[in-house]
Amino acid sequence: MTALAMALGLACASSWAAELAKPLTLDQLQQQNGKAIDTRPSAFYNGWPQTLNALLVMNLPP
């Protein structure tokens, strides 16, 4: 019985925490984590600014 009560309590606590979590906008996430830079080889050929990718990937001075 104790294990069942603990399991139910944990299930309730996790669903309660999920309801209280505030949704973040993309702008807020980028402020927290920084902007992602596409470093895949295909990024050099699909319209990305090649100078930015080349400098970051190859560690070349600007």
Instruction: Please state, as a whole number, how many other Cβ atoms lie within 10 Å of the Cβ of residue 52.
Output: 13
- Which residue reads 């019985």 in tokens? 1
Please state, in angstroms and rounded to a whole number, the distance separating the CA atoms of residues 56 and 36. 12
The full length of the chain comes to 62
DSSP string, 18-47: HHHPPP--HHHHHHHH------SGGGGTTT
Q: What is this structure's pTM?
A: 0.28
Q: Is residue 11 part of a domain?
A: no
- Residue 53 structural domain: 24-62
Q: Is residue 51 part of a domain?
A: yes
DSSP state of 47: T
Q: How many domains does the chain have?
A: 1
Q: Is residue 43 part of a domain?
A: yes
pLDDT in 10s for each residue of the chain, 62 residues? 667 556 556 666 666 666 677 888 888 888 888 777 767 776 666 665 555 555 555 555 55
